[in-house]
Amino acid sequence: MTDDGFLNLLDHDSFVNGVPHATFARLRKEDPVSWNDGDGDIKGFWSLTRHADISLANKENAIFSSAQGIRLEDQSPEEYLARRTFQETDQPEHTAVRRTVNPNFAKPTVAKFESLIRELASDIVEKALQSPEFDAVDAIAKQLPMLMLGRILGVPDEDLDWLVEKGDALIGNSDPEFTDHVVDKMDTSAYRMMPFRSPAGLELYDYASDLLANRRAVAEDGILAKMMRDENGLDELGFKNFFCLLVAAGNDTTRYSIAMALSLLAHNPELIAHLRSGQYWNTCADEFVRLASPTMHFRRTATRDYTLHGKTIREGDKVLLWFVSGSRDEAVFENPNDCDLGRSPNRHLAFGQGGPHVCLGMHLAKLEVRIALEELLKRVDTFEAIDAPTWTRSNFICGVKQQYVRATKVA
Ligand code: HEM
């Protein structure tokens, strides 16, 4: 679909050629609080597209609540209660759980993983480079987040391909390449009590139940074992939903950030030269994540009437915070569509910064992006795109699905 500035944000097909940036640029300029009619099961919603407005709504969690769902789908109270994770709660409930999980993902804790990430990344890159031509998403971007997530959770390597396949089916539930149960193309009401309204949610629940019943091995020092030992922690349903959240959130997002970086490098040799200068390793990950902004929006629900730029959002209305648009707002970023590896400060919103739900895994994700690129550039002489990238079909998760490259190894 060609982006003429007027694409419908509800339609997953508006995203098949990548993010419709012209549409977002027009909305930021002309209609920053814009109403989108619903369709079928999905009720209409508001879109916030400017950096300042998204930041405000993200901070004002009492007015823009997460506690009625964070995706576009409308859930009955029963469905919400069955599927919610702490991401779908407000203070004080959210704060209490967040406090227990935070230490596992804090910057100093994550920094200890640096050598493990490097070891995994160097193996992955070596393997990829055994062929002169390969899909960089499949061979590199997909592999590192999956292996790291496995190590952090403490699940065995042999389960990882399966877990990633299920995570893809959850988060990519509108892309026929990832699921047979495409949400906008068939009736998925039988799965309405499952995470992401997907049968993959049921399989992941079963896996989590096996963990809880000790029918499956889990590493003692992994997060899952720690959470299972924590008596004040989550109940059974809470644990299962948290497990699904990590499998979905910890995987594709980082994959698509690395994929965006690899695609940009493969198409722009000057970026490779800049990175090789060594000046940009501390800033490049944020810039690649800004440009990728893989989870394009999260939803809030207004708890009271609220007027912004002359529009009145009514109590109960759904409001989408389009982080992907805020991260390219020309009012905040100079040349927002350029990849400026030294951009600093980089006030992008791709991790939902500024709100109570700011990404738990952001330090881990950024470290993975940087190290994957460092290990790649150590080993390649040339790294060039063979064709254009292909994109996910989703108005929620955006990413480069395939990027074929030709690479030569350093002598
Ligand atoms: C580049 C990679 C990533 C991106 C772009 C990303 C993006 C986001 C965003 C935008 C939010 C805010 C959601 C909201 O406002 O409701 C979020 C929350 C979250 N992320 Fe990430 N994420 C990434 C990687 C990860 C990783 C690696 C993990 C875990 C291993 C993770 C786990 C979570 C969790 C658990 C939350 C919910 C936090 C809460 O509600 O307090 N994410 N992420």
379 CB burial (10 A radius; 0-12, 13-18, 19+): middle
Q: At what angle do helices 160-171 and 199-212 cross, to 10 degrees?
A: 140
Count other C-beta atoms under 10 Å from residue 210's C-beta: 13
Distance 393 CA to ligand 1 centre (A): 20
Q: Can you give the pLDDT at residue 241?
A: 84
Nearest protein Cα to ligand 1, atom 11: 359
Q: Can you give the pLDDT at residue 383?
A: 98
Distance 183 CA to ligand 1 centre (A): 22
Calpha distance 113→123 (Å, rounded): 16
Count other C-beta atoms under 10 Å from residue 310's C-beta: 6
**Superfamily of domain 12-409, CATH level 4:** Cytochrome P450 (1.10.630.10)
Ligand 1 pocket check for 21: Cβ under 6 Å: no
**Nearest Cα to 383, choosing from 364, 408, 359?**
408
The number of the ligand 1 atom at minimal distance from the alpha carbon of 349 is 10
Q: Can you give the pLDDT at residue 398?
A: 93
Tokens representing residue 377 in the block: 């550039």
Q: Which residues of the chain have pLDDT under 50?
A: none
* C-alpha to C-alpha distances, 122 to 107, 126, 203, 257, 286, nearest whole angstrom: 22, 6, 32, 18, 21
Tokens 């047979």 found at:
180
Distance 130 CA to ligand 1 centre (A): 33
Q: Whole-model pTM?
A: 0.95
The number of the ligand 1 atom at minimal distance from the alpha carbon of 89 is 40
Q: Can you give the pLDDT at residue 83?
A: 79
Q: Which of 99, 351, 370, 397 to mutate to test the pocket of ligand 1 (most atoms within 8 A of CB)?
A: 351
Count other C-beta atoms under 10 Å from residue 307's C-beta: 9
Calpha distance 282→369 (Å, rounded): 11
Ligand 1 pocket check for 357: Cβ under 6 Å: yes
Nearest protein Cα to ligand 1, atom 20: 359
Q: Can you give the pLDDT at residue 27?
A: 98
257 and 294 Cβ atoms separated by less than 8 Å:
yes
Q: Which residues contact 325 (CB under 8 A, 6 or more apart)?
A: 24, 27, 28, 49, 50, 54
Distance 124 CA to ligand 1 centre (A): 24
Partnered with residue 408 across adjacent β-strands are: 382
Q: Can you give the pLDDT at residue 234?
A: 79
The number of the ligand 1 atom at minimal distance from the alpha carbon of 87 is 40
Q: Which residues contact 371 (CB under 8 A, 6 or more apart)?
A: 114, 117, 118, 121
4 and 22 Cβ atoms separated by less than 8 Å:
yes
